Homo-oligomer: A and B are copies of this chain.
Amino acid sequence: MEAEIISVGTELLLGQICNTNAQFLSKRLAEIGINVFYHTAVGDNPTRLLNVVRSAEQRSNIIIFTGGLGPTKDDLTKETLAAHLGKTRVEHKQAMDRIHNYFKQRGIEMTANNRKQSEIIEGSVVFPNDHGMAPGMAIEVNDIHYLLLPGPPRELHPMYDRYTIPYLQSLFQEKYTVHSKTLRFFGIGESMLEEKLIDLIDQQTNPTIALLASEAEVSVRLTAKAKDLDEANERIATLEAELQARVGDSIYGYDDDSLASVVSHLLKQKSWSLAAAESCSGGAISQSFTELPGASEVFAGGIVSYSADAKMNALGVDADLIEQYGTVSEQTARTMAIQARKLFSADIGVSVTGVAGPEPTENKAVGVVFIGVSTKQGVEVFAPRLSGSRQNIQLRAAKYALFYVYEWLNRL
């Protein structure tokens, strides 16, 4: 099976967006053993799209399109391909119902061009769009599989994982299972992690080991190919045991876990609640909890006391203390954590104060951050030194705060 990816959208050719879809799909296709030999990006232009499709048909038996399934006149992937394959387009009832519901819920009138999104190429297998309106689809003609997927990543990713992978796996004669487990790390850099695992990475065959760095976090994805899930899990477990022995201290979670979700889980176990007082992290801690369904069980509330006035008036930090030590100080972080806990009647209070930049504040350098964790048992203040842009520092500060809470809860 040889695949290629055709990304459709003039915004790619103008450089307005980067082709992250090609990267996402390539990574995922490699995991199930499908080779990708070409990526192409082409604009919203039927003649040029057709040109690209014809080249692809000469060399690949899986052609995956992303983009061009939307409601506007520019969106032409489905129309161009249907005409090229000599197929008609038919309305897909579930997709149409979904679009109707969307507009009904919002009390807005549906415009005519939205109807176009519910159409599929006759005879195709439909991939429902759980996060948008246009469904994806797959159709086989002359031993070539054409897959049409939406362009927006938040629609594409879940559709691919839920509906497209099973479809692609069904194409193999000899079936095998590919299964992955992701280990989530905090407090260790990508290069350090690689150094500690380099011999395993060099020898990798099955499972494979992939390191992925994101904002202040690193993940390691172990992917095994086996005759069934049990065998795949066994292979993964053997390798994971080796990783646990070497770098287990820095693993905080697995698969879809996030720092907020593991903290939330620990809080639930203890029937504890948490409150946050955020200065330089600007609300990122609160957001990471409220993103989780059922957050109100464990998240008592948060305050974004960005200004000195807010720290004093709304949070009740003593003016003398701020005067003496400054808003970015161990002492202020300590008091913020205590006051957050009191204000929201929570079991644990966490605070963040620091300099996110771009300019130093109160003679403190960009990246200086103080994080307080307060419980009935006492308060502890941490001072990680962060770097990066303003937004990097804000987000990293929030993650460090969650990580300290995680470690604290684990020690209890």
Contacts and interface: CB of A to CB of B under 8 A. Distances in A.
Nearest to A117: B191
Nearest to A198: B73
Contact of A131 (B13, B289, B389): B389
Interface in A159-215: 189-192, 194-195, 198, 201-202, 210-213
Interface in A1-50: 7, 10-20, 22-30, 35-43, 45, 48
A13 B40 contact: no
A287 B288 CA distance: 12
A410 interface: no
Interface in A24-81: 24-30, 35-43, 45, 48, 51-52, 55, 59, 70-74
B291 A304 contact: no
Given A15-B28, A301-B314, A287 B290 contact: no
Contacts of A24: 15
A401 interface: no
Interface string A375-408: 0000000000111111110100000000000000
Contact of A22 (B19, B113, B210): B19
A39 B14 contact: no
A6 to B, nearest CB: 10
Contact of A385 (B41, B105, B280): B105
A258 to B, nearest CB: 12
A11 B291 CA distance: 26
A222 interface: no
Given A39-B39, A307-B301, A30 B15 contact: yes
A314 B290 contact: no
Nearest to A221: B16
Interface stretch (A82-90, A230-238, A239-247, A292-300): A292-300
A349 interface: no
B38 A387 contact: no
B306 A310 contact: no
B304 A212 contact: no
Contacts of A313: 343-345
Interface class of chain A by DSSP: mixed
A43 B221 CA distance: 16
A94 to B, nearest CB: 17
A190 B390 contact: no
A267 interface: no
A300 B17 CA distance: 34
A195 B290 contact: no
A102 interface: yes
A302 B276 CA distance: 12
A73 B387 CA distance: 24
A358 B131 CA distance: 13
A135 interface: no
A412 interface: no
Contact of A14 (B26, B43, B105, B345): B26
B189 A108 contact: yes
A321 to B, nearest CB: 18
21 contacts: A12-B22, A12-B39, A14-B27, A15-B27, A17-B23, A39-B42, A71-B190, A72-B211, A73-B194, A73-B201, A105-B385, A111-B189, A111-B192, A282-B286, A283-B283, A283-B286, A293-B390, A296-B306, A301-B310, A302-B303, A304-B304
Interface of A: 7, 10-20, 22-30, 35-43, 45, 48, 51-52, 55, 59, 70-74, 102, 105-108, 111-114, 131, 154, 189-192, 194-195, 198, 201-202, 210-213, 221, 223, 276, 278, 280, 282-287, 289-291, 293, 295-296, 299-307, 309-310, 313-314, 343-345, 356-359, 365, 367, 385-392, 394
